[in-house]
Structure 1
Amino acid sequence: MELAKQKASIGLINPKNPVNVASILRAAGCYGVASVFYTGQRYRLAKEFNADTKAFHKIIPTIGVDNLKDVVPKGAKVVCVELVEGAVPLPHFEHPENAFYILGPEDGSVPSDVLTWCDYVVYIPTYSCMNLAATANVLLYDRLSKSDFVSGDALIRSSRDTNNTTKI
C-alpha cells in the first residue's frame, strides 16, 4: 500500500542551499508531490552538491524557470507559505485538493508582487523562523494529516527503510 499521489507541486523562489532543496525533494517524494519548480541561479550553480539520498530528483521533475507564475499547474490554487502579517496560521488552513505551494528563499522573503497573485498566504506558527526544508516538511505533513489517507501496517511496510523490519 502506498499513499495516493497528490495534486500538489512546489515552487521555490531563488533557493540558495542545495542541501535544503535536496531535503525538499525527499519530502516531496515522501508526500507524493508531483513536481518542484525553482527560480534564480543560486541552486542551478550548486545543485551538483545535493544531498538527495533517495534520488527523488530522478523521479520528481525539478525544473528551473524564470517566473513561477508561468508554471502554476492547471486548476491549482496558489498557496504561499511566509511569515507575513495577515497570513492564516497553518493549523487553521484547509488545503486545496490541487495546490501549488510557493516558498521563499532561505535568506529573504517572498516578494510582495508574488503575494498579489497567490490565492492564499499561510504561516507556520513557531517561536522563530524555520529553514526552507523544515518548512516544506511541516507543510506537506500538515496537508497529509488533514487528508483521508489509508493508514496501517501495509503503509508502514511500504514506507520504511529496507533495514527496518521491527514490529510491536
Structure 2
Amino acid sequence: MKIDTLEQGFFGIGIQNGKTPENLGVLWRSAQNMGASYIFTIGNRYAKQACDTHKAVGAMPYFHYESFEDFYAHLPKGAMLVGVELTDEAVPLESFKHPRRCVYLLGAEDHGLSNEAIEKAHHLVKFKSTLSLNVSVAGSIVMYDRGLKTEFST
C-alpha cells in the first residue's frame, strides 16, 4: 500500500488501559503497515511488546499518557478524536467517513473506553459483530477501512 501523507492527512492510534502486551504489539505492527503517523498508550498497563516484531516503536513516534486528561490535552491541533466502542450511539464503520486528521482510540477488552473518553470523542464507530472483538483486530479493521476509503471529511 503506497501512502501519500500530503493527500492522506494523518492519524494516530492507541489503546486506553490496554490489557495484554500481545494486543499492543499486534496493533503497533498493524499501525506501521497501514500508515499510522504515531502510536500511543493511555494508563498504567503498558509494557515492552515482544509481539512488535517489526519494531514499530522505533519506526514511528510512540507516546504514553498517564491519564485520559493528559492525552486529551495533547491531541494534535485540528485532529478529531474517534472512539471505537460498541455503543448504541456509535456509527457503523461501514458508513463512517474518516476525518483527514484524526486519532483513533480503542479501549481495553475488559473495560472498553472510559465514560470520559466516550463523552469527549468527536465520533464513535462500531462494526457489525455479535460480540466485541480483540482490540488489535478492531484497530486493524478501522485502519484497513480508512485505507480503502479515498474520500475524507474535513
TM-score normalised according to structure 2 size:
0.87
27, 30, 35: which one aligns with 2:30 = 27
Using the TM superposition, give the Cα deviation of residue 28 of structure 1 relative to its aligned residue in structure 2, in angstroms: 0.8
Using the TM superposition, give the Cα deviation of residue 39 of structure 1 relative to its aligned residue in structure 2, in angstroms: 1.3
Is structure 2 residue 107 aligned with structure 1 residue 104?
Answer: yes
Aligned to 2:132: 129
Is structure 2 residue 94 aligned with structure 1 residue 70?
Answer: no
Q: Determine if contact 1:37/1:64 at 8 Å carries over to the other structure.
A: yes
Using the TM superposition, give the Cα deviation of residue 113 of structure 1 relative to its aligned residue in structure 2, in angstroms: 1.5
- The letter of the residue matching 1:93 is F
Aligned residues: 145
Q: Determine if contact 1:78/1:99 at 8 Å carries over to the other structure.
A: yes
Root-mean-square deviation (CA, aligned residues, Å) is 1.5
The answer to which structure has the higher strand fraction is: 2
- The letter of the residue matching 1:99 is C
Using the TM superposition, give the Cα deviation of residue 41 of structure 1 relative to its aligned residue in structure 2, in angstroms: 1.5
Aligned to 1:50: 50
Q: Give me the identity figure in percent.
A: 32
Please show how residues 110-121 of structure 1 align to structure 2 within 5 Å. Answer: 110-121=113-124
3-state SS of paired residue (2:26): helix
Work out which of the two has the higher radius of gyration on C-alpha atoms and give 1 or 2. Answer: 1
Aligned to 1:3: 3
Cα distance in 2 for residues equivalent to 1:3 and 1:39: 27
Cα distance in 1 for residues equivalent to 2:63 and 2:14: 9
1:8-30 superposed Cα distances (whole Å, 9 cap, x missing partner): 01131011211111111111111
1:129-168 superposed Cα distances (whole Å, 9 cap, x missing partner): 11010001100000000127xxxxxxxxxxxxxxxxxxxx
Using the TM superposition, give the Cα deviation of residue 50 of structure 1 relative to its aligned residue in structure 2, in angstroms: 2.1
TM-score normalised according to structure 1 size:
0.80
Aligned to 1:60: 60
Which contiguous aligned blocks of 4+ residues in structure 1 show a shift greater than 6 angstroms? none
85, 89, 96: which one aligns with 2:88 = 85
Q: Determine if contact 1:80/1:118 at 8 Å carries over to the other structure.
A: yes
Structure 1 stretches lacking a partner, 5+ long: 149-168
Structure 2 stretches lacking a partner, 5+ long: none
Is structure 2 residue 67 aligned with structure 1 residue 36?
Answer: no
Using the TM superposition, give the Cα deviation of residue 124 of structure 1 relative to its aligned residue in structure 2, in angstroms: 1.3
Aligned to 1:144: 147
- The letter of the residue matching 2:13 is I
